[in-house]
């Protein structure tokens, strides 16, 4: 590729900077709004910075609803779901990539085909299954209904395909069982793929709203997305509590922002590995 000239680079930078600001502005606005008073937010003159930062909005929001509980629910269920998904997907992806058996490709096609199914069509049958299992309105229900994930299976399969066949053969020659080859050779060498899959899945399940809102009913089982929404709706005088809602929202996205800063380098990989697949 030709090297961009200085002026070209400046133009490119300006465009990207503009898009960047455009994308991040709602978040900044949310954060600033969470520090304003109701009058500042809804007043006729729009102000950018809060004149007197209302840090008390945060404690106020936490008093109105158990947001920390919601965050813990989201965090713990997403963590358990991710671990279970990675475990199960690894097993299946290994069989699909490293073992030879009749109908292997057909099996993979069938699994992929289920991915084409709109999630909404599965809600009713899943709802019935979860209820028969006695897992309605429980975090266990949220976890169990999500432990199998075609997308993470797909990612892992693609990752496992990249493991050099010689490595697996060398391990077999060394006398290793398939179980050991999976956990000692294939999984460690596909570490980045696993982290990518874990990140995508974690964010998805941390933010998941519709399905958890259908099967959870009591406040102590709300995920953060569900809790936040209930909080919106329950605060009848919407305008009066706008800064509090913003404060609650800031609290709710805090864990993801922390995760993002800790694992930044993997995010790019996760996004580029899924592009063109998730659409």
Contact residues: other proteins, CB under 8 A: 164, 166-167, 169-177, 180, 184-185, 188-189, 191
- Establish how many alpha carbons lie within 13 A of residue 77's alpha carbon, considering only the half-sphere containing its beta carbon: 27
Other C-beta atoms within 10 Å of 85: how many?
Answer: 23
Q: Residue 254 and residue 37: Cα distance in Å, rounded?
A: 21
CB 153 within 8 A of CB 112: no
Other C-beta atoms within 10 Å of 9: how many?
Answer: 11
Q: Residue 56 and residue 69: Cα distance in Å, rounded?
A: 19
CB 159 within 8 A of CB 274: no
Other C-beta atoms within 10 Å of 257: how many?
Answer: 11
Q: Residue 31 and residue 43: Cα distance in Å, rounded?
A: 18
Buried b or exposed e, range 29-65, using 16+ CB within 10 angstroms: eeebbbbbebebbeeeeeeeebeeebeebbeebeebb
Q: Is the dihedral of CA 34, 37, 43, 45 positive or negative?
A: negative
């Amino acid at each position: 590729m030709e090297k961009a000239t200085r002026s070209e680079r400046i133009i490119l930078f300006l465009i990207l900077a503009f898009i960047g600001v455009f994308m991040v502005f709602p978040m900044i606005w949310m954060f600033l709004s969470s520090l304003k008073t109701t009058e500042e937010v809804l007043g006729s003159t729009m102000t950018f910075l809060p004149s007197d930062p209302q840090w008390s909005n945060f404690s106020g929001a936490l008093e109105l609803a158990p947001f920390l509980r919601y965050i813990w629910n989201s965090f713990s269920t997403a963590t358990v779901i991710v671990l279970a998904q990675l475990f199960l997907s690894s097993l299946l992806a290994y069989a699909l990539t490293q073992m030879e058996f009749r109908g292997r490709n057909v099996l993979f096609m069938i699994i992929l085909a289920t991915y084409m199914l709109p999630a909404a069509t599965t809600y009713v049958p899943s709802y019935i299954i979860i209820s028969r299992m006695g897992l309605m309105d429980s975090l266990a229900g949220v976890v169990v209904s999500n432990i199998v994930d075609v997308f993470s299976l797909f990612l892992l399969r693609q990752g496992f395909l990249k493991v050099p066949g010689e490595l697996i053969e060398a391990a077999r020659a060394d006398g290793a069982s398939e179980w050991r080859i999976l956990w000692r050779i294939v999984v460690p060498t596909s570490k980045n793929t696993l982290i990518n899959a874990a990140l995508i899945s974690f964010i998805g399940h941390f933010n998941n709203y519709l399905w958890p809102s259908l099967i959870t009913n009591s406040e102590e089982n709300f995920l953060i997305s569900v809790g936040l929404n209930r909080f919106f709706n329950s605060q009848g005088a919407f305008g009066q509590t706008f800064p509090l809602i913003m404060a609650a929202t800031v609290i709710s996205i805090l864990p993801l922002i922390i995760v993002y800063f800790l694992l930044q380098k993997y995010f790019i990989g996760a996004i580029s590995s899924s592009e063109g697949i998730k659409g």
